[in-house]
Amino acid sequence: MNASLEGKVGLVTGAAIGIGRSVALEMASAGAIVMVSDVDERGGEETVREILDSGGTASFTRCDVSVAEECANLVASTVGAYGTLDLAVNNAGSGGAAATTGEYDPAEWRRVVGINLDGVFHCMHFELPAMLNAGGGAIVNVASVLGLVGWPQASAYVAAKHGVIGLTKAAALEYAGRNIRIAAVNPGFIEGGHLAEAGITSGSEMHAFLTGKHAMKRLGTHAEVAKAVVWMLSDEASFVTGASLSVDGGYTAS
C-alpha cells in the first residue's frame, strides 16, 4: 500500500539535505506539490531540481525557522504560489555544541532551542491558520529519540526535542476537532549526513557505539524516516494525532 498525497500542497523546512530533502522527494513522489525551505539556498534549490527532474512540482523559499517573521513569509509564499497549505513537515534542526549543562554556553543554548523548539512553534503558529482556511491539514514535527531519552553533553538539543513532542501533543488536542492532525517522528541515529561529515562512518569506534544503541544493530536511512513521515501525512494515518512514532530500529524499546 503506497500512501498518496495527490493534489496536496505541503512545505518542508530544513529540506536542503538529509532527512528534509528525503521527505521533500518522497512527498513529491506521493503526488504533493512541495515548497522546499532552508537557510541553505543552494541545497534547497538542488532539492527542487531533483523534484522537477522526476516530474514533480516544487519551488524554494528561504526561511530561518528561528525567526518568526520568516516562518510567516514561508507560509504566505506557499499559499501565494499554490493557493493553499495542506501539509507541513517541521524538520529543520541543529545538534549544537557538546558540553555538560554546567558548562553549556547560554548563547548556544538559546541558539539550539531557537532552531529546534522555537522553530517548530513559529512554523506551526503560521501553518495552523492557513490549514484552517484550507479546511484541514496534517503536520509532522521531526523530533528525535533524544526527545524520549537523555544524552550527555547535549542538554539544549535533548530539552528542545522533548519540547517538540510536548508541543505536538498540546497542539494536537487543540486542533483534533478541526480536521488538523499533528504528530511527531522520532528518528534514531541516521547513517551518512552530518555523522559522516564528523567521521562517524562504518568501522569507526563511535559508529560501532551508536549502532550498538539500536536493537537492530544498524543506523537508519533518510528514506526510512521519509517514508514514515509521508505515511503520517497521508489519509492512511487518519486516526493518528498527538502521537510520536519512533523510527529508531528499537533504540527506545529497551
Nearer to ligand NAD (CB atom), residue 9 or residue 190? 190
Q: Which residues have C-beta within 8 Å of that of residue 88, sequence separation ≥ 6?
A: 10, 11, 12, 123, 124, 127, 131, 137, 138, 139, 140
Minimum gap (Å) between residue 178 Cβ and ligand NAD: 26
- Cα–Cα distance measured from residue 54 to residue 204, given in angstroms and rounded to the nearest whole number: 36
Q: Which residues have C-beta within 8 Å of that of residue 245, sequence separation ≥ 6?
A: 183, 184, 185, 186, 228, 232
Minimum gap (Å) between residue 96 Cβ and ligand NAD: 10
Query: For 54, which DSSP code?
Result: T
Angle among Cα 78, 8, 80 to the nearest 5 degrees reads 20
> Do 96 and 154 contact (CB within 8 A), yes or no?
yes
Minimum gap (Å) between residue 18 Cβ and ligand NAD: 2
Nearer to ligand NAD (CB atom), residue 93 or residue 249? 93
Q: Which residues bind ligand NAD (CB under 6 A)?
A: 13-14, 16-20, 38-40, 43, 63-66, 91-94, 115, 119, 142, 144, 187, 189-190, 193-194
Nearer to ligand NAD (CB atom), residue 32 or residue 113? 113
| DSSP secondary structure of 121-150 | HHHHHHHHHHHHHHT-EEEEEE--GGGTS-
Minimum gap (Å) between residue 141 Cβ and ligand NAD: 9
Nearer to ligand NAD (CB atom), residue 26 or residue 38? 38
Give the three-state DSSP class for 18. Answer: helix
Minimum gap (Å) between residue 179 Cβ and ligand NAD: 26
Q: Which residues have C-beta within 8 Å of that of residue 8, sequence separation ≥ 6?
A: 31, 32, 33, 86, 87, 233
Active-site residue, from 82, 157, 175, 251: 157
Nearer to ligand NAD (CB atom), residue 30 or residue 39? 39
Per the annotation, the verdict on 157 as an active-site residue is yes
What positions carry a catalytic annotation? 157
